[in-house]
Structure 1
Amino acid sequence: MLRFAPSPTGDMHIGNLRVALFNFIMSKKLNEELLIRIEDTDKERNIEGKDKEILEILNLFSIDYARVVYQSGNLKYHQKLAMQLMSQKKAFACFCSDEKLEELREDAKKEGKPFRYDGFCASLSDQAVLEVNAPFTVRIKKPDENIKFTDLLKGDFDYSPFDVDSFIILRHDKTPTYNYACAVDDMLYDISMIIRGEDHVSNTPKQIHIRNSLGYDKEIKHVHLPIILNAATGKKMSKRDNESSVKWLIEQGFLPVAIANYLVLLGNKTPSEIFTLEEAIEWFEISNISTSSAKFDIDKLRFINRKHLSMLDDLRLSKLLGFADEQIGKLGKLFLEEASTLKEIKEKLDLIFTKKQSCEGFEEETNKIMECLKNAPFIEDFEELKKYITEQTSLKGKNLFKPLRYVLTGRENGPNLSDIYPFIKNYLGEIVK
């Protein structure tokens, strides 16, 4: 089984989605189930409703999964296994106060060394522990030997006991810390491969150490994906970058199929540039992903989105634009020379159907054309329409074409009116209302 394990602490960002997509693809290729595990044990940071939003986004991207579990639901297992570790002297109660630990951190900082727990409570006797009437955390003892693992992308890693340290596995309130909950849950659900961001590399030896201490010897394969950089700044994408939010991208009118296409394409060797998720499953190889950081370029995403918009069924596109007429879908595609998202196309359609005021400098001509069209019979052909307006108003040249374009499109430029008219002729009464 593979797992995607988001935290309900904020909007899903493109790095999360990329991890979800790769887990989904690999679950299909390996013919294994995909588990969605909501990591909700950090109660103070959880945002109500974000779990449902995450699942809605996964559904929007057609990422199907076997089941959804909440990490908090495994609390009894986290606590029971911590007690097992304590009884086996592989973990211990730590009574060090936050103030004391902060003092140790400051001392390490002054000496230019990384902070590590000094092991004071690890040597307390059982009798001493019983006599202490104070809240405590539970720490796992640091390993006796180096922790080694192989990343399918990045190769071999080797961490010393000093690197791993004696870290906290249960907080004062006896809820699990991130690494402990992850390690136990991956064991409970028999996870075979973990695909996540490279910012988790330093967590991996700690999680392996926890499972080793619990006697779990199944090898889990690891893939740590390179981070995504903002192409414009060269820095890691952050929550301050609008385009890092999947929700924002959808609101801007980017298609899920295009976003998925781009995220799978990023830093990857692919047989083609434009593809669907179903097609990617056929040829995807995790080893083809670059070990270098990928750069997210919003203009490249726009290009890919435009391609997918052009490939959409006309009726489907019209429905996404708020209509149910394939002629509107065809009209929408006319604007792809200058628009690259649903939102941008919708803005141009809105101008067509919004009540017009007057074309500046051609106020009288605009009024004549409006009145003419309100009383006009249905006219099939644009050339016939021009002829009819000219006969009724005597307008010619720019006195005809400039205000006519404004009346029909709400704009002074854009695709040829002869190209637009076939798709709006049935709506002429609504357009000139």
Structure 2
Amino acid sequence: MLRFAPSPTGDMHIGNLRVAILNYIIAKQLKQDFLIRIEDTDKNRNIKGKDKEILSLLNLFGLFWDRLVYQSDNFKQHNIIANELIKNNKAFYCYATKEFLEQKKQEAIEQKKAFRYKDSWALVCRDENLNPSIRLKGASSNIKFYDEIKGECEFNQNEIDSFVIIRDDGVPTYNFACSVDDMLYDINFIIRGEDHTSNTPKQILIRKFIGYDKKIKYAHLPIILNKDGKKMSKRDNESSVKWLLEQGYLPKAILNYLLLMGNKTKEEIFTLNEAIKWFDLSKLSKSPVRFDIDQLRYINREHLKRLNEKDMALLLESNDLSIGALGKIYLEESSTLNEIRDKIEKIISKKVIIDEVKIYEDKILLLRGIIIGLIENNSDVLNDFNTFKKEVSKISNLKGKELFMPLRFLLTGALNGPHLNDLYPYLRFYLKDIIGD
């Protein structure tokens, strides 16, 4: 079984979504179940409703799970196992207070040494600390594991001193809850971000001390960099899946791009179901990958091109095929749904004379009056653009740029864009709203 284990502490990051996508694909390829485990152990940082938002996003991207669990439901089991580790001399109570440990950390900093916990500190504050934590004994030998992307990984035993598995409030730490749950749910392949690489030896040690020896495969995905080549953070708008969707990027395009990043794929534009057929984890780059919003824009545009007029209209929140057709035409100069919406909004909205078109103001007013007259008379010339254009030119005595610039502004709210003869077959149904009074 494979799993995706998000924390309900903030908006979903594109790195997290990438992890979810790869776990889902590998689960499908191996014909195994896909588990969602909401890691809600940090009660102070959990945000109400974020779990539902995460699940909604996974549904939106077509990442349907076979099982959903909440980590907090296993707290009792975590504590039972921790107590068994104490009985088996694999773990111990630590009475050292936070103040004592902080003092030792400061001493290490002053001595320019790496801070390492000493087991002899466990009882130093026993008389004053009524709520001890539980620590797992540190490693007695180096810990090795094979990473499907990074290759062989080895951690020196000195890097893994005795560490907390149950806090003084009885809540399990991330590494303990994660490793125990992976055991309880029979997870056999863990795909996650590179920032978790240093957690892996601790989780291996936990399961070793429990006596769980089933082999688990690992793959740690390289980090995603921003446009400046730095690790993407919450300060980067593009890092938020929610933000990307709000900007008008399609889920299928975002998914497509995240699978392309640092990867060699058979096709450049593809769907999730297509990727499941050929995706190969071993072809992912070991190096960090840079997020390129321009490439995402291109991919989004290509997916929008694949839509029929009905689906385009629905995405533009309309049931009118003409709106869908206009959206398709505006893909000549737009790459997101928001950009298309903006173009169509300018068409329908009341035209306000701005500085850019001030030079054509008198001609705009002249043409508006002529077109309103044609609409009121239900003139047949309105049915065809060339006939309409000739009639308006004849009545106004305007030609060339003097005709086309104000006419384009009246019909589209802009001075440039797709050819009017391409737009007009769909614009003509809205002429009364477009021209206005």
- The CA distance in 1 between the partners of 2:148 and 2:352, in whole Å, is 63
Provide the residue aligned with 1:154 in structure 2.
150
- The CA distance in 2 between the partners of 1:149 and 1:357, in whole Å, is 66
- Can you list the C-alpha shifts for 1:50-102, whole angstroms capped at 9, x where unaligned? 11111111111011111211111111001111111111111111000111101
Provide the residue aligned with 2:97 in structure 1.
97
Q: Which moves more between the two structures, 192-201 or 141-150?
A: 141-150
Q: How does 1:400-415 map to 2 (within 5 A)?
A: 400-415=403-418
Provide the residue aligned with 1:289 in structure 2.
284
- The CA distance in 1 between the partners of 2:291 and 2:83, in whole Å, is 45
- The CA distance in 1 between the partners of 2:244 and 2:155, in whole Å, is 39
Alpha-carbon shift at residue 366 of structure 1 (Å): 1.6
- The CA distance in 2 between the partners of 1:357 and 1:297, in whole Å, is 36
Q: Which moves more between the two structures, 144-153 or 170-179?
A: 144-153
Provide the residue aligned with 1:368 in structure 2.
366
Q: How does 1:244-393 map to 2 (within 5 A)?
A: 244-358=239-353, 359-376=357-374, 377=378, 379-393=382-396
- Can you list the C-alpha shifts for 1:216-274, whole angstroms capped at 9, x where unaligned? 111110000000111x2011111110001000000000111110000000001101111
- The CA distance in 1 between the partners of 2:107 and 2:352, in whole Å, is 72
- The CA distance in 2 between the partners of 1:229 and 1:89, in whole Å, is 43
Provide the residue aligned with 2:115 in structure 1.
115
Provide the residue aligned with 1:15 in structure 2.
15
Letter in 1 for 2:275: A
Task: Give the counterpart of 1:172 among 161, 168, 186.
Answer: 168
Alpha-carbon shift at residue 122 of structure 1 (Å): 5.2
Provide the residue aligned with 2:198 in structure 1.
202
Q: Which moves more between the two structures, 132-141 or 284-293?
A: 132-141
Task: Give the counterpart of 2:429 among 413, 423, 426.
Answer: 426
Letter in 1 for 2:384: D
Alpha-carbon shift at residue 293 of structure 1 (Å): 0.7
Alpha-carbon shift at residue 194 of structure 1 (Å): 0.3
Task: Give the counterpart of 2:225 among 229, 233, 238.
Answer: 229
Alpha-carbon shift at residue 47 of structure 1 (Å): 1.2
Q: How does 1:45-194 map to 2 (within 5 A)?
A: 45-121=45-121, 134-194=130-190
Letter in 2 for 1:431: I
- Report the 3-state secondary structure (helix = DSSP H, G, I; strand = E; otherwise coil) of the residue aligned with 1:362: helix
Alpha-carbon shift at residue 331 of structure 1 (Å): 1.5
Q: TM-score, normalised by structure 1?
A: 0.95
CA contact (8 A) 2:409 2:415 kept: yes
Q: 1:123 to 1:402 in 2, by over 3 A?
A: closer
- The CA distance in 2 between the partners of 1:363 and 1:154, in whole Å, is 65
Q: Which moves more between the two structures, 317-326 or 30-39?
A: 317-326
Alpha-carbon shift at residue 108 of structure 1 (Å): 1.9
Q: Which moves more between the two structures, 318-327 or 233-242?
A: 318-327
- The CA distance in 2 between the partners of 1:13 and 1:84, in whole Å, is 37
Q: Which moves more between the two structures, 80-89 or 393-402?
A: 393-402
Letter in 1 for 2:132: F
Q: Sequence identity, in percent?
A: 54
- The CA distance in 1 between the partners of 2:23 and 2:51, in whole Å, is 18
- The CA distance in 1 between the partners of 2:291 and 2:76, in whole Å, is 41
- The CA distance in 2 between the partners of 1:45 and 1:110, in whole Å, is 32
- Can you list the C-alpha shifts for 1:127-147, whole angstroms capped at 9, x where unaligned? x97x77622100011122222
CA contact (8 A) 2:92 2:135 kept: yes
- The CA distance in 1 between the partners of 2:2 and 2:372, in whole Å, is 62
- The CA distance in 2 between the partners of 1:93 and 1:350, in whole Å, is 65
| Count of matched residue positions in the alignment of Structure 1 and Structure 2 | 428
- Can you list the C-alpha shifts for 1:282-311, whole angstroms capped at 9, x where unaligned? 000110101111111111111111111111
Which runs of 5 or more structure 1 residues have no equivalent in the other structure? none
Alpha-carbon shift at residue 387 of structure 1 (Å): 1.9
- The CA distance in 2 between the partners of 1:423 and 1:329, in whole Å, is 10
Q: Which moves more between the two structures, 387-396 or 32-41?
A: 387-396
Alpha-carbon shift at residue 123 of structure 1 (Å): 7.6
Q: TM-score, normalised by structure 2?
A: 0.95
Q: How does 1:215-226 map to 2 (within 5 A)?
A: 215-226=211-222
CA contact (8 A) 1:122 1:141 kept: no
The reply on whether 1:397 has 2:397 as its aligned counterpart is no
Q: Which moves more between the two structures, 136-145 or 104-113?
A: 104-113
- Report the 3-state secondary structure (helix = DSSP H, G, I; strand = E; otherwise coil) of the residue aligned with 2:358: coil
Alpha-carbon shift at residue 390 of structure 1 (Å): 2.6
CA contact (8 A) 1:96 1:136 kept: yes
Q: Which moves more between the two structures, 304-313 or 358-367?
A: 358-367
CA contact (8 A) 1:41 1:176 kept: yes
- Report the 3-state secondary structure (helix = DSSP H, G, I; strand = E; otherwise coil) of the residue aligned with 2:426: helix
- Report the 3-state secondary structure (helix = DSSP H, G, I; strand = E; otherwise coil) of the residue aligned with 1:212: helix
Q: 1:250 to 1:61 in 2, by over 3 A?
A: same
Root mean square deviation of aligned Cα: 1.6
- The CA distance in 1 between the partners of 2:210 and 2:102, in whole Å, is 30
Which runs of 5 or more structure 2 residues have no equivalent in the other structure? none
- The CA distance in 2 between the partners of 1:133 and 1:37, in whole Å, is 34
Structure 1 moving runs of 4+ over 4 Å? 121-124
Alpha-carbon shift at residue 314 of structure 1 (Å): 1.5
Q: Which moves more between the two structures, 108-117 or 32-41?
A: 108-117
CA contact (8 A) 2:95 2:122 kept: no
